[in-house]
A and B are shown apart, each in its own frame.
Chain A
């Protein structure tokens, strides 16, 4: 059974710092891994999708890496801004016919001005 863990649960850093959010998964047989952002009381916004054959994806100040062998993914945020404050969720999608997607519990990020 796939389990997805995100550490830390909460993170507060001053504006301008580069930071890394961690995501680990127990079953390396994933179809893809996706990072999302969730603002309070809102739905999820897709940030980056990494297919199982890929090692990383980049979008603007965001870079996500995937290491299936170690069961880890990281989300790197460069030059953080107060507007980056949100909860960041990673989700692993498996190969089952139901295409089950398992979410981590998220990291609540707060960027201090």
Chain B
């Protein structure tokens, strides 16, 4: 149980275009999902906390107008990288917890490898 599905697993796009990444909790409802970014051989950096039915909470230094987050339902959050540039190339991962109050482990998607050419 507690499966988080992330799609697509990889995407290549041209500079200036926008890319949408989906994160779905398949067998549980998640009022909160998290989006991370990971550079090669580095750890995960929390980008934002996605809240169902309300605006996302962005970490310091993360541009909210560039990384649009929508949490339309209790099982789906999307991250849209707008006007992507080569420096946005990275590994993006989402996570969610099936429990309340974060007593339950976080479950992660398999990540999306974004390459901007």
Contact = CB atoms under 8 A, between A and B. Distances in A.
Given A98-B49, A106-B43, A43 B102 contact: no
How many chain A residues sit at the interface, stated as a range, is 20 to 34
Contact of B93 (A34, A44, A93, A100): A44
A45 interface: yes
Contact of B102 (A31, A45, A102, A106): A31
Nearest to B113: A41
B103 interface: yes
B43 A105 contact: yes
Interface in B25-53: 32, 34, 42-46, 49
Contacts of A51: 103
A34 B6 CA distance: 21
21 contacts: A34-B105, A36-B108, A41-B91, A41-B111, A41-B113, A42-B111, A43-B93, A43-B108, A43-B109, A44-B44, A46-B107, A49-B104, A51-B103, A89-B43, A98-B49, A99-B32, A99-B49, A100-B59, A103-B44, A104-B43, A105-B43
